[in-house]
Amino acid sequence: MAKFNFDLNAAKPDASGHYEFQNVFEFPDFIEMRPRLRAAVRTVAREAFDQPVLPVKVERLTTALEEQLERETRKYARQLGVYDNQKGERNELVRLFTHVLQVISRTNDIDEELEDMIYAVNQTRLSLINLPQLTGKGKLYQADQDQELIPGTFYHYVTAQLVQPYLLDPKGEMVPANVNEAGRHLVVKMTTYAYRDWDAYLMHEYDEQHIVKNQKGLSDKDYFDKLEAIDLKYADHAYSEVFADTYQDFCSILVPHFIPAFEIMATDLRPLVAQNPGLKIQLAAKIISHFKVDDSGFEHVMDQPLKEIKSKYQFYRENFA
């Protein structure tokens, strides 16, 4: 088992009192880290049972622990501190990160990618340990609590622009009382995309396709119909690329001209836009471009993907069924 100094470079408030919280979920190469992190969390989940259990139980606990790790960590990253009533919860989160670190370190085969992952996870753990004390009372984690867009942050900012055509009062805020039914559906959809694990989502798609491709006795037409239904069901993964491209454009505009770093779930854009009127125009243009917003303000991300899927399977049925 490799040995590391897990107390190296612990986060502390600087001379001005600013606390630099390092969040593994915001590291530039987190996408590459995620599969290994998920494997480590799965091991933690498996070790939580005293005796062997069905794989489905392990997977359910793995998913719950992954969500808990990310949602709680992002909460403390936003707060940049810990309230008295949250200390037990924070300590449990630190223990969970410690267990993950122990699992990751159970090898002598340490490559550069694994070293980067160990560093990122540990810096997050240290950031949690050294959180400044806050006065008052804070929210505690509830696994079944509805996820919400964080006001002013990237997903909230984008959604607030996309929901404009659905506002009852065009000058009002994006609050439930001021959004019509179609607009509330859009907000729910965007919130889902903000928190969706797109890697897992694609794996579900591949699994469903695999079942159909190995199903015996299907006519060619039924085969293409079933595959088309799956493609249409998962076609909204197009939003993952649209959001990623929009975020990258936001980063290009904002960093380093306005802020040193742009965190997707933590940076509040509202004060930046208020202080720099031209910035709102630049960001709006990127949203309009990537989300294919028409002159009335409605987005059309799915128009082309759905058209292509239907056209493809119509061609298959006409020529191969």
196 pLDDT more than 90: no
User: Who wins on pLDDT, 13 or 112?
Assistant: 112
**248-277 confidence digits (pLDDT tens):** 999 999 999 999 989 888 899 999 999 998
What percent helix, strand, coil does the chain show, rounded to 5? Answer: 65, 0, 35
Task: Say how many CA atoms lie within 13 Å of 25 toward its Cβ.
Answer: 20
Residue 17 has a pLDDT of: 54
Residue 197 has a pLDDT of: 82
d(CA 77, CA 251): 19
Give residue 57's pLDDT band: very low, low, confident or very high (50, 70, 90).
confident
Phi, psi of 179 (to 5 degrees): -120, 130
* Confidence (pTM): 0.67
Residue 18 has a pLDDT of: 55
Residue 8 has a pLDDT of: 52
Contact 123, 9 (CB under 8 A): yes
Give residue 144's pLDDT band: very low, low, confident or very high (50, 70, 90).
low
Residue 265 has a pLDDT of: 82
* Closest CA relative to residue 287, chosen from 172, 168, 199, 157: 157
* Closest CA relative to residue 152, chosen from 61, 34, 283, 255: 283
- Give the number of other CB atoms < 10 A from CB of residue 289: 13
d(CA 154, CA 202): 23
Give residue 31's pLDDT band: very low, low, confident or very high (50, 70, 90).
confident
DSSP 237: G
5 pLDDT more than 70: no
Give residue 118's pLDDT band: very low, low, confident or very high (50, 70, 90).
very high
Mean pLDDT to the nearest integer, 25-37? 86
**68-79 confidence digits (pLDDT tens):** 998 899 889 888
